[in-house]
Structure 1
Amino acid sequence: MDIQDLKNVWDEENPTATPVISLEKQKEIILPLEKIRKNMRMEFYSSMAIILLMITFCATTNLISEHVKIYVMTLLLSMILITAFYFIKFFKLYNSITNLDLNILDNLKELKFEFKLNEQYYYAYYIAFIPFFITEMIIIFEFSSFKSTLNQTEFMFIFISFCIFGLCSLYLTAVLWFKYFYGKYFSKISLLINDLK
Protein backbone atom coordinates (compact mmCIF):
# COMPACT_ATOMS: atom_id res chain seq x y z
CA MET A 1 0.00 0.00 0.00
CA ASP A 2 1.54 3.33 -1.02
CA ILE A 3 1.17 6.75 0.53
CA GLN A 4 -1.69 7.78 -1.75
CA ASP A 5 -3.71 4.72 -0.68
CA LEU A 6 -3.08 5.54 2.97
CA LYS A 7 -4.29 9.11 2.42
CA ASN A 8 -7.47 7.82 0.77
CA VAL A 9 -8.16 5.44 3.67
CA TRP A 10 -7.48 8.24 6.16
CA ASP A 11 -9.88 10.59 4.36
CA GLU A 12 -12.60 7.93 4.34
CA GLU A 13 -12.24 7.26 8.08
CA ASN A 14 -12.01 10.90 9.12
CA PRO A 15 -14.63 12.91 7.27
CA THR A 16 -14.20 16.66 7.54
CA ALA A 17 -17.90 17.34 7.70
CA THR A 18 -19.39 16.94 11.18
CA PRO A 19 -23.05 16.00 11.50
CA VAL A 20 -25.22 19.08 11.93
CA ILE A 21 -28.35 19.15 14.09
CA SER A 22 -31.49 20.52 12.45
CA LEU A 23 -32.93 23.83 13.66
CA GLU A 24 -36.16 22.17 14.87
CA LYS A 25 -34.24 19.74 17.07
CA GLN A 26 -32.09 22.57 18.42
CA LYS A 27 -35.24 24.48 19.42
CA GLU A 28 -36.59 21.38 21.17
CA ILE A 29 -33.37 21.10 23.18
CA ILE A 30 -33.07 24.82 24.03
CA LEU A 31 -36.26 25.00 26.14
CA PRO A 32 -35.31 22.29 28.68
CA LEU A 33 -31.75 23.67 28.81
CA GLU A 34 -33.09 27.11 29.70
CA LYS A 35 -35.31 25.61 32.40
CA ILE A 36 -32.29 23.77 33.86
CA ARG A 37 -30.22 26.98 33.87
CA LYS A 38 -33.06 28.90 35.54
CA ASN A 39 -33.43 26.21 38.22
CA MET A 40 -29.66 26.16 38.78
CA ARG A 41 -29.64 29.92 39.39
CA MET A 42 -32.61 29.61 41.76
CA GLU A 43 -30.92 26.78 43.69
CA PHE A 44 -27.67 28.70 44.02
CA TYR A 45 -29.31 31.90 45.32
CA SER A 46 -31.65 30.05 47.69
CA SER A 47 -28.72 28.00 49.07
CA MET A 48 -26.72 31.17 49.70
CA ALA A 49 -29.72 32.77 51.44
CA ILE A 50 -30.23 29.71 53.68
CA ILE A 51 -26.54 29.61 54.60
CA LEU A 52 -26.53 33.31 55.48
CA LEU A 53 -29.69 32.90 57.58
CA MET A 54 -28.21 29.93 59.45
CA ILE A 55 -24.96 31.77 60.18
CA THR A 56 -26.82 34.90 61.28
CA PHE A 57 -29.15 32.91 63.52
CA CYS A 58 -26.32 30.96 65.15
CA ALA A 59 -24.18 34.06 65.65
CA THR A 60 -26.93 36.20 67.15
CA THR A 61 -29.15 33.77 69.07
CA ASN A 62 -29.22 33.62 72.85
CA LEU A 63 -31.14 30.32 72.83
CA ILE A 64 -27.96 28.25 72.93
CA SER A 65 -24.88 28.61 75.09
CA GLU A 66 -21.56 29.87 73.75
CA HIS A 67 -20.15 26.37 74.16
CA VAL A 68 -22.81 24.86 71.89
CA LYS A 69 -22.58 27.82 69.51
CA ILE A 70 -18.93 26.94 68.78
CA TYR A 71 -19.91 23.36 67.88
CA VAL A 72 -22.76 24.50 65.65
CA MET A 73 -20.66 27.15 63.89
CA THR A 74 -17.91 24.57 63.24
CA LEU A 75 -20.49 22.26 61.70
CA LEU A 76 -21.86 25.10 59.59
CA LEU A 77 -18.43 26.01 58.29
CA SER A 78 -17.79 22.37 57.36
CA MET A 79 -21.12 22.27 55.56
CA ILE A 80 -20.20 25.45 53.70
CA LEU A 81 -16.97 23.85 52.48
CA ILE A 82 -18.88 20.86 51.08
CA THR A 83 -21.45 23.19 49.52
CA ALA A 84 -18.65 25.24 47.91
CA PHE A 85 -17.14 22.08 46.40
CA TYR A 86 -20.54 21.05 45.06
CA PHE A 87 -21.22 24.46 43.55
CA ILE A 88 -17.84 24.47 41.78
CA LYS A 89 -18.98 21.31 39.96
CA PHE A 90 -22.44 22.80 39.55
CA PHE A 91 -21.05 25.90 37.79
CA LYS A 92 -19.02 23.75 35.43
CA LEU A 93 -22.27 22.26 34.14
CA TYR A 94 -23.91 25.69 34.10
CA ASN A 95 -21.10 27.05 31.92
CA SER A 96 -21.25 23.99 29.66
CA ILE A 97 -24.94 24.63 29.07
CA THR A 98 -24.31 28.34 28.44
CA ASN A 99 -21.48 27.83 25.95
CA LEU A 100 -22.93 24.79 24.20
CA ASP A 101 -22.84 24.62 20.41
CA LEU A 102 -26.06 22.81 19.54
CA ASN A 103 -24.98 22.22 15.94
CA ILE A 104 -22.69 19.32 16.78
CA LEU A 105 -23.94 15.95 17.98
CA ASP A 106 -20.73 15.21 19.90
CA ASN A 107 -21.32 18.30 22.07
CA LEU A 108 -24.78 17.03 22.95
CA LYS A 109 -23.42 13.57 23.78
CA GLU A 110 -20.85 15.18 26.07
CA LEU A 111 -23.62 17.23 27.71
CA LYS A 112 -25.60 14.04 28.33
CA PHE A 113 -22.56 12.55 30.05
CA GLU A 114 -22.18 15.71 32.19
CA PHE A 115 -25.84 15.42 33.23
CA LYS A 116 -25.23 11.87 34.47
CA LEU A 117 -22.08 12.97 36.28
CA ASN A 118 -23.85 15.91 37.94
CA GLU A 119 -26.70 13.66 39.02
CA GLN A 120 -24.13 11.60 40.94
CA TYR A 121 -22.61 14.79 42.40
CA TYR A 122 -26.07 15.88 43.47
CA TYR A 123 -26.80 12.68 45.37
CA ALA A 124 -23.28 12.61 46.83
CA TYR A 125 -23.85 16.18 48.05
CA TYR A 126 -26.89 15.08 50.02
CA ILE A 127 -25.18 11.93 51.29
CA ALA A 128 -22.35 14.14 52.60
CA PHE A 129 -24.88 15.82 54.90
CA ILE A 130 -25.73 12.59 56.75
CA PRO A 131 -22.86 12.87 59.28
CA PHE A 132 -23.66 16.56 59.80
CA PHE A 133 -27.30 15.79 60.44
CA ILE A 134 -26.48 13.05 62.96
CA THR A 135 -23.91 15.28 64.69
CA GLU A 136 -26.48 18.07 64.94
CA MET A 137 -28.96 15.61 66.45
CA ILE A 138 -26.34 14.55 69.02
CA ILE A 139 -25.66 18.19 69.94
CA ILE A 140 -29.37 19.00 70.22
CA PHE A 141 -30.11 15.95 72.36
CA GLU A 142 -26.95 16.25 74.46
CA PHE A 143 -27.58 19.85 75.46
CA SER A 144 -31.39 19.76 75.63
CA SER A 145 -33.15 20.30 78.94
CA PHE A 146 -35.55 17.34 78.60
CA LYS A 147 -32.67 14.83 78.54
CA SER A 148 -32.63 14.68 82.33
CA THR A 149 -36.34 13.75 82.47
CA LEU A 150 -35.88 10.61 80.35
CA ASN A 151 -34.35 7.27 81.20
CA GLN A 152 -31.67 5.79 78.93
CA THR A 153 -34.08 3.61 76.91
CA GLU A 154 -36.55 6.44 76.25
CA PHE A 155 -33.73 8.77 75.29
CA MET A 156 -32.25 6.26 72.81
CA PHE A 157 -35.67 5.51 71.30
CA ILE A 158 -36.45 9.21 70.75
CA PHE A 159 -32.96 9.94 69.42
CA ILE A 160 -33.00 7.03 66.95
CA SER A 161 -36.57 7.90 65.85
CA PHE A 162 -35.55 11.52 65.15
CA CYS A 163 -32.47 10.34 63.21
CA ILE A 164 -34.44 7.87 61.09
CA PHE A 165 -37.16 10.42 60.37
CA GLY A 166 -34.58 13.09 59.51
CA LEU A 167 -32.53 10.82 57.25
CA CYS A 168 -35.65 9.61 55.40
CA SER A 169 -36.71 13.24 54.95
CA LEU A 170 -33.25 14.13 53.64
CA TYR A 171 -33.35 11.24 51.17
CA LEU A 172 -36.86 12.05 49.92
CA THR A 173 -36.00 15.73 49.61
CA ALA A 174 -32.91 14.94 47.51
CA VAL A 175 -34.74 12.55 45.19
CA LEU A 176 -37.85 14.68 44.73
CA TRP A 177 -35.92 17.97 44.42
CA PHE A 178 -33.63 16.55 41.75
CA LYS A 179 -36.46 14.89 39.84
CA TYR A 180 -38.63 18.03 39.86
CA PHE A 181 -35.99 20.64 39.08
CA TYR A 182 -33.54 18.69 36.90
CA GLY A 183 -34.38 15.04 36.28
CA LYS A 184 -37.36 15.53 33.98
CA TYR A 185 -35.39 17.99 31.83
CA PHE A 186 -32.32 15.75 31.77
CA SER A 187 -34.51 12.86 30.62
CA LYS A 188 -36.16 14.96 27.93
CA ILE A 189 -32.81 16.13 26.56
CA SER A 190 -31.38 12.59 26.71
CA LEU A 191 -34.34 11.28 24.68
CA LEU A 192 -33.86 14.03 22.09
CA ILE A 193 -30.15 13.22 21.85
CA ASN A 194 -30.91 9.50 21.45
CA ASP A 195 -33.34 10.34 18.62
CA LEU A 196 -30.56 12.19 16.81
CA LYS A 197 -28.28 9.15 16.63
Structure 2
Amino acid sequence: MNIDELKNIWNDDISHETPEISMEHKNKINLPLENMRKNMRMEFWSTLGIFIFAFALVSLCEAPFKFKFYIDILLISMGIVTFFFFSKFFRLYKEMSNPVLKTYDALKDLLQQLNLNKQYYLSFYLSFVPFLVCELIIVIECLPHRQPLSDMRIATTLISAVLIGLFGLYLVGNLWFRHFYGKHITKIQNLLTELEK
Protein backbone atom coordinates (compact mmCIF):
# COMPACT_ATOMS: atom_id res chain seq x y z
CA MET A 1 0.00 0.00 0.00
CA ASN A 2 1.50 3.33 -0.97
CA ILE A 3 1.30 6.74 0.74
CA ASP A 4 -1.47 8.09 -1.52
CA GLU A 5 -3.75 5.18 -0.69
CA LEU A 6 -3.12 5.73 3.04
CA LYS A 7 -3.96 9.43 2.69
CA ASN A 8 -7.22 8.59 0.89
CA ILE A 9 -8.23 6.07 3.56
CA TRP A 10 -7.33 8.55 6.29
CA ASN A 11 -9.35 11.35 4.65
CA ASP A 12 -12.34 9.02 4.16
CA ASP A 13 -12.27 8.06 7.85
CA ILE A 14 -12.14 11.68 8.98
CA SER A 15 -14.98 12.75 6.70
CA HIS A 16 -17.18 9.92 8.06
CA GLU A 17 -16.43 10.79 11.68
CA THR A 18 -17.04 14.52 11.44
CA PRO A 19 -19.62 15.25 8.79
CA GLU A 20 -19.83 18.76 7.42
CA ILE A 21 -22.89 20.84 8.20
CA SER A 22 -24.77 22.03 5.12
CA MET A 23 -25.19 25.74 4.36
CA GLU A 24 -28.92 25.55 5.12
CA HIS A 25 -28.22 24.12 8.57
CA LYS A 26 -25.48 26.70 9.21
CA ASN A 27 -28.02 29.45 8.57
CA LYS A 28 -30.44 27.77 11.00
CA ILE A 29 -27.66 27.67 13.62
CA ASN A 30 -26.58 31.28 13.12
CA LEU A 31 -29.99 32.79 13.93
CA PRO A 32 -30.32 31.40 17.49
CA LEU A 33 -26.61 31.99 18.15
CA GLU A 34 -26.89 35.62 17.05
CA ASN A 35 -29.99 36.09 19.22
CA MET A 36 -28.13 34.68 22.22
CA ARG A 37 -25.15 36.94 21.54
CA LYS A 38 -27.50 39.94 21.33
CA ASN A 39 -29.07 38.97 24.67
CA MET A 40 -25.61 38.55 26.23
CA ARG A 41 -24.61 42.05 25.09
CA MET A 42 -27.86 43.49 26.45
CA GLU A 43 -27.35 41.72 29.77
CA PHE A 44 -23.76 42.93 30.08
CA TRP A 45 -24.63 46.57 29.43
CA SER A 46 -27.70 46.51 31.68
CA THR A 47 -25.66 44.95 34.52
CA LEU A 48 -23.01 47.63 34.08
CA GLY A 49 -25.75 50.29 34.16
CA ILE A 50 -27.20 48.82 37.37
CA PHE A 51 -23.80 49.00 39.08
CA ILE A 52 -23.24 52.60 37.98
CA PHE A 53 -26.74 53.53 39.18
CA ALA A 54 -26.18 51.77 42.54
CA PHE A 55 -22.86 53.57 43.18
CA ALA A 56 -24.43 56.91 42.21
CA LEU A 57 -27.42 56.28 44.49
CA VAL A 58 -25.18 55.43 47.46
CA SER A 59 -23.01 58.50 46.94
CA LEU A 60 -26.03 60.83 46.67
CA CYS A 61 -28.11 59.44 49.55
CA GLU A 62 -28.15 61.10 52.95
CA ALA A 63 -26.92 58.36 55.25
CA PRO A 64 -24.21 57.87 57.88
CA PHE A 65 -20.69 57.37 56.57
CA LYS A 66 -20.46 53.85 58.02
CA PHE A 67 -23.61 52.78 56.15
CA LYS A 68 -22.39 54.22 52.83
CA PHE A 69 -18.93 52.71 53.30
CA TYR A 70 -20.32 49.22 54.02
CA ILE A 71 -22.68 49.39 51.04
CA ASP A 72 -19.80 50.51 48.79
CA ILE A 73 -17.68 47.56 49.97
CA LEU A 74 -20.63 45.26 49.33
CA LEU A 75 -21.13 46.67 45.81
CA ILE A 76 -17.42 46.26 45.04
CA SER A 77 -17.58 42.63 46.22
CA MET A 78 -20.65 42.06 44.05
CA GLY A 79 -18.76 43.59 41.15
CA ILE A 80 -15.87 41.14 41.62
CA VAL A 81 -18.25 38.15 41.67
CA THR A 82 -20.06 39.54 38.61
CA PHE A 83 -16.73 40.04 36.81
CA PHE A 84 -15.77 36.40 37.47
CA PHE A 85 -19.02 35.04 36.01
CA PHE A 86 -19.07 37.48 33.09
CA SER A 87 -15.54 36.39 32.15
CA LYS A 88 -16.94 32.85 31.77
CA PHE A 89 -19.88 34.16 29.73
CA PHE A 90 -17.54 36.24 27.57
CA ARG A 91 -15.54 33.12 26.71
CA LEU A 92 -18.76 31.49 25.50
CA TYR A 93 -19.69 34.70 23.64
CA LYS A 94 -16.42 34.53 21.72
CA GLU A 95 -16.89 30.81 21.05
CA MET A 96 -20.36 31.43 19.61
CA SER A 97 -18.99 34.05 17.23
CA ASN A 98 -16.36 31.62 15.98
CA PRO A 99 -17.16 30.72 12.36
CA VAL A 100 -15.51 27.26 12.72
CA LEU A 101 -18.87 25.60 13.47
CA LYS A 102 -18.65 23.56 10.30
CA THR A 103 -18.88 20.05 11.71
CA TYR A 104 -21.40 18.11 13.70
CA ASP A 105 -18.84 17.56 16.49
CA ALA A 106 -18.16 21.30 16.81
CA LEU A 107 -21.89 21.94 17.15
CA LYS A 108 -22.19 19.17 19.75
CA ASP A 109 -19.31 20.70 21.70
CA LEU A 110 -20.95 24.14 21.59
CA LEU A 111 -24.21 22.67 22.88
CA GLN A 112 -22.32 21.09 25.77
CA GLN A 113 -20.75 24.47 26.59
CA LEU A 114 -24.17 26.14 26.49
CA ASN A 115 -25.54 23.59 28.95
CA LEU A 116 -22.51 24.07 31.21
CA ASN A 117 -23.06 27.82 31.12
CA LYS A 118 -26.63 27.29 32.32
CA GLN A 119 -25.11 25.95 35.55
CA TYR A 120 -22.79 28.98 35.73
CA TYR A 121 -25.79 31.19 35.18
CA LEU A 122 -27.79 29.70 38.05
CA SER A 123 -24.67 29.81 40.27
CA PHE A 124 -24.30 33.48 39.38
CA TYR A 125 -27.77 34.26 40.67
CA LEU A 126 -27.44 32.11 43.79
CA SER A 127 -24.11 33.73 44.64
CA PHE A 128 -26.01 36.92 45.46
CA VAL A 129 -27.80 35.40 48.48
CA PRO A 130 -24.90 36.18 50.88
CA PHE A 131 -24.89 39.75 49.58
CA LEU A 132 -28.60 39.99 50.32
CA VAL A 133 -27.95 38.80 53.89
CA CYS A 134 -25.07 41.27 54.30
CA GLU A 135 -27.26 44.06 53.02
CA LEU A 136 -29.93 43.23 55.59
CA ILE A 137 -27.35 43.11 58.38
CA ILE A 138 -26.03 46.52 57.34
CA VAL A 139 -29.54 47.98 57.25
CA ILE A 140 -30.41 46.47 60.64
CA GLU A 141 -27.16 47.57 62.30
CA CYS A 142 -26.47 50.96 60.72
CA LEU A 143 -29.82 52.64 60.19
CA PRO A 144 -31.69 54.03 63.19
CA HIS A 145 -34.98 52.35 64.17
CA ARG A 146 -37.89 53.83 66.12
CA GLN A 147 -37.67 50.98 68.63
CA PRO A 148 -34.79 48.57 69.17
CA LEU A 149 -35.29 45.28 67.34
CA SER A 150 -35.49 42.13 69.45
CA ASP A 151 -33.05 39.28 68.88
CA MET A 152 -35.92 37.05 67.75
CA ARG A 153 -37.05 39.61 65.17
CA ILE A 154 -33.52 40.00 63.80
CA ALA A 155 -33.08 36.21 63.55
CA THR A 156 -36.49 35.76 61.91
CA THR A 157 -35.79 38.53 59.41
CA LEU A 158 -32.39 37.11 58.42
CA ILE A 159 -33.52 33.47 58.15
CA SER A 160 -36.61 34.38 56.12
CA ALA A 161 -34.46 36.62 53.88
CA VAL A 162 -32.08 33.72 53.18
CA LEU A 163 -34.93 31.32 52.37
CA ILE A 164 -36.89 33.80 50.26
CA GLY A 165 -33.66 35.03 48.63
CA LEU A 166 -32.53 31.51 47.69
CA PHE A 167 -35.90 30.57 46.27
CA GLY A 168 -36.46 33.93 44.56
CA LEU A 169 -33.02 34.18 42.97
CA TYR A 170 -33.13 30.56 41.78
CA LEU A 171 -36.58 31.11 40.28
CA VAL A 172 -35.65 34.43 38.64
CA GLY A 173 -32.35 33.01 37.32
CA ASN A 174 -34.12 29.97 35.87
CA LEU A 175 -36.90 32.01 34.22
CA TRP A 176 -34.46 34.63 32.93
CA PHE A 177 -32.20 31.97 31.42
CA ARG A 178 -35.12 30.11 29.86
CA HIS A 179 -36.54 33.30 28.34
CA PHE A 180 -33.31 34.77 26.95
CA TYR A 181 -31.25 31.66 26.18
CA GLY A 182 -33.18 28.43 26.74
CA LYS A 183 -35.45 28.70 23.71
CA HIS A 184 -32.44 29.29 21.45
CA ILE A 185 -30.57 26.33 22.97
CA THR A 186 -33.65 24.19 22.30
CA LYS A 187 -33.54 25.23 18.62
CA ILE A 188 -29.89 24.16 18.42
CA GLN A 189 -30.70 20.84 20.17
CA ASN A 190 -33.51 20.21 17.67
CA LEU A 191 -31.14 20.95 14.81
CA LEU A 192 -28.57 18.56 16.28
CA THR A 193 -31.26 15.85 16.50
CA GLU A 194 -32.21 16.57 12.90
CA LEU A 195 -28.56 16.20 11.82
CA GLU A 196 -28.24 12.86 13.66
CA LYS A 197 -30.94 11.29 11.46
TM-score, normalized by length of structure 2?
0.86
Aligned-partner Cα distance in 1 for 2:75–2:56: 11
Worse-matched range after superposition: 39-48 or 127-136:
127-136
- RMSD across aligned positions (CA): 2.3
* Runs of at least 4 residues off by over 6 Å: 5-10
Worse-matched range after superposition: 88-97 or 150-159:
150-159
Task: Report the CA distance between 1:11 and its aligned residue.
Answer: 5.6
Deviations 1:3-36 (CA, angstroms, capped at 9, x unpaired): x399967864653535221222222222211111
Partner of 2:111: 112
Residue ranges of structure 1 left out of the alignment (5+ in a row): none
Checking the alignment, whether the CA contact within 8 Å between 1:68 and 1:139 is kept in structure 2 is yes
Aligned-partner Cα distance in 1 for 2:85–2:154: 35
Residue ranges of structure 2 left out of the alignment (5+ in a row): none
Aligned-partner Cα distance in 1 for 2:168–2:187: 27
Q: Which amino acid aligns with 2:174?
A: V
Q: Which amino acid aligns with 2:152?
A: T
Aligned-partner Cα distance in 2 for 1:66–1:101: 53
Aligned-partner Cα distance in 1 for 2:74–2:96: 33
Alignment CA distance shift 1:13-1:153 (3 Å): same
Aligned-partner Cα distance in 2 for 1:5–1:70: 76
Checking the alignment, whether the CA contact within 8 Å between 1:112 and 1:190 is kept in structure 2 is yes
Checking the alignment, whether the CA contact within 8 Å between 2:37 and 2:93 is kept in structure 1 is yes
Q: Which amino acid aligns with 2:147?
A: S
Partner of 2:193: 194
Aligned-partner Cα distance in 1 for 2:157–2:86: 35
Question: How high is the sequence identity, in percent, across the aligned residues?
Answer: 38
Q: Which amino acid aligns with 1:21?
A: I
Aligned-partner Cα distance in 2 for 1:189–1:121: 19
Show the 5 A alignment for 1:16-165.
Answer: 16-17=14-15, 18-62=18-62, 64-146=63-145, 148-165=147-164
> Counterpart of 1:29 in 2: which secondary structure?
helix
Aligned-partner Cα distance in 1 for 2:4–2:134: 66
Checking the alignment, whether the CA contact within 8 Å between 1:126 and 1:174 is kept in structure 2 is yes
